[in-house]
Amino acid sequence: MSTSVTHASRVLLRIVPILLPFLSPISLVLLADGGPERLIDHFPEAASSGCMACHQEVEPIREIGSEMLNQIMAKGKAMGDPAGCVVCHNGDPNETQDIAIAHGGANFYPDPGSPWVNENTCGTCHEDQVKVQWQSLMMTEAGKIQGTCWSFGALTGDAHKYANYAVKNPTDRSTRLGTEAYRQYMDALAELEPNVFVNEHEPLPDALGFDELDKLNDDPSLAAFTYIRQECNRCHHGVKGRSSRGDFRGMGCSSCHVPYGNEGLYEGADLSISKTETGHPLTHQIQGTRDADVTIHEVTYHGLAVETCTTCHNRGKRIGVSFQGLMETPYASPLDENAKDQPGLHTKHYIAMEQDIHYQKGMKCQDCHTSIDVHGDGFLAATNLAAVQIECSDCHGTPDQFPWELPPVSYTHLTLPTKRIV
């Protein structure tokens, strides 16, 4: 650090306390974060958009120079919005006074990633991913539904009967996403495990109403449907997460691709968005592949944060929190520096154990769980084991062979361990 910079820093430290009462909120943000990145600083023409009458400080939805941001800005300009807001949110970019008109009534999308509207938003560019979402395990939740129903006695056998809604496979198997080799592999696996690779799911029965609880005396297994709908379905992509610490998230595509903080508070630079009202994204940015940079408070990370995955994957197998080395405890200790109980996270408390070696080395969930794995390939796969593409042996090999020595898969006689997937 140069002498001049050091001296300047010392001067600022002396004068900032004096100036604090007179600084505007945006000035405080600039001082705290070293200057937030604003869309209009890189796209000056965006200032002419009516959206900027309120959101002039908003950060770019993707990092400057990224192909995605450039395409959004170009598409927005073609739609009459040089700020690109209407590409995702719709609304009226010419309105500067009436927020009801600007937000376009029923045609405005506060959460463009919602599966109920994303055909008109994300799907205009990411058609394949949106098209297959209804068959994806992340949406059907057939695996956890089957497991819960089976354990409650509401199902017998290992056939995956129910999903959140009625859904069928496409009739044309050539529409499955992926390479021809992948399609052959999945066809062979489906033949091996017909109980998991079903052709259709029935909708999960309704939960019992308060006036129907006496039915449990005759059939206690009916409790399964109430339990699933009241507890398990909070993680369904068709709804927002539970509004508690660590559980805040968006819907559909936004569940994974928009970062939320544990507190559910917005911490970006847009002055029109409340900093005290919960339920807002952490920042107005999209996280995606490892090439997607997200910068917040001068900290940049790449791809999907593990914490995004643990918003949902903190129950059942506990795989998300276990990956981070967190184990549930019935106690509120260890205490913080003020001897106060640790705050609840996912409505629970944790103690720190040893982190998974992959997490220690900087790996993320998405390093093994690929796009097809998470988004789906357009066909039903009722357990996560059935949907994954990358297996341990792909990187680690087997006791007898290095990974590069493993033979290719035979699609005539599937050369995989013939263990049942349940």
Q: Is 193 within a domain?
A: no
Q: Hey, what's the torsion of the CAs at 113, 118, 124, 126, to 10 degrees? A: 60
pLDDT tens track for 151-183:
999 988 888 999 999 999 999 988 999 988 889
Q: Is the pLDDT of residue 20 over 70?
A: no
Q: What is the mean pLDDT of residues 221-236?
A: 86
Q: Is 91 within a domain?
A: yes
Q: What is the mean pLDDT of residues 366-384?
A: 91
Query: According to the model, what pLDDT value does residue 13 have?
Result: 33
Write down the pTM of the prediction.
0.83
Look at 42-46, 159-163, 231-235, 323-327 and tell me which has the smallest mean pLDDT.
Answer: 231-235
Question: Containing H/E element for 299?
Answer: strand 299-302
Contact of 89 with 81, CB cutoff 8 Å: no
Buried-exposed string 360-394: b where 16+ CB fall within 10 A, e elsewhere: eeeebbbebbebbbbbbbbbbbbbbebbebeeeee
pLDDT confidence band for 243 (50 / 70 / 90): confident
Query: According to the model, what pLDDT value does residue 416 have?
Result: 52
Q: Is 104 within a domain?
A: yes
| Separation of alpha carbons 314 and 345, rounded Å | 10
Query: According to the model, what pLDDT value does residue 19 have?
Result: 35
Q: Is 346 within a domain?
A: no
Q: Which has the higher per-residue pLDDT, 367 or 410?
A: 367
Q: Which has the higher per-residue pLDDT, 130 or 408?
A: 130
Query: According to the model, what pLDDT value does residue 27 have?
Result: 35
| Separation of alpha carbons 264 and 251, rounded Å | 14
Is residue 395 classed exposed, middle or buried when 0-12, 13-18 and 19+ CB atoms within 10 A define those classes? exposed
Q: Is 112 within a domain?
A: yes
Closest among 69, 40, 58, 55 to 103, alpha carbons compared = 55
Q: Is 149 within a domain?
A: no
pLDDT tens track for 266-298:
999 999 999 999 999 999 999 999 999 999 999
pLDDT tens track for 31-84:
334 445 899 999 999 999 999 999 999 999 999 999 999 999 999 999 999 999
Domain count, the chain: 1
Is residue 163 classed exposed, middle or buried when 0-12, 13-18 and 19+ CB atoms within 10 A define those classes? buried
Backbone angles phi, psi at 3, to 5 degrees: -60, -40
| Separation of alpha carbons 183 and 176, rounded Å | 7
| Separation of alpha carbons 45 and 415, rounded Å | 58
Residue-by-residue DSSP string for 188-256: HHHHH-TTTS-SEEEEPPPPPPGGGTTHHHH-GGGHHHHHHHHTGGGG-TTSPPPSSTT----STTHHH
Query: According to the model, what pLDDT value does residue 156 have?
Result: 84
A 10 A CB-CB count for 1 gives 6
Contact of 157 with 196, CB cutoff 8 Å: no
Q: Which has the higher per-residue pLDDT, 172 or 315?
A: 172
Closest among 65, 68, 66, 114 to 89, alpha carbons compared = 114
Structural domain for 60, as ranges: 21-126
| Separation of alpha carbons 112 and 108, rounded Å | 9
CA angle in degrees (0–180, nearest 5) for 50-280-69: 50
Q: Is 70 within a domain?
A: yes
Contact of 186 with 379, CB cutoff 8 Å: yes
Query: According to the model, what pLDDT value does residue 414 have?
Result: 53
**Cα dist from 310 to 167, 225, 302, 404, 408, whole Å:** 27, 24, 17, 32, 34
Q: Is the pLDDT of residue 136 over 90?
A: yes
Q: Is 80 within a domain?
A: yes
Q: Which has the higher per-residue pLDDT, 105 or 129?
A: 129
| Separation of alpha carbons 258 and 341, rounded Å | 30
CA-only gyration radius of the chain, Å: 25
pLDDT confidence band for 409 (50 / 70 / 90): low
| Separation of alpha carbons 394 and 360, rounded Å | 20
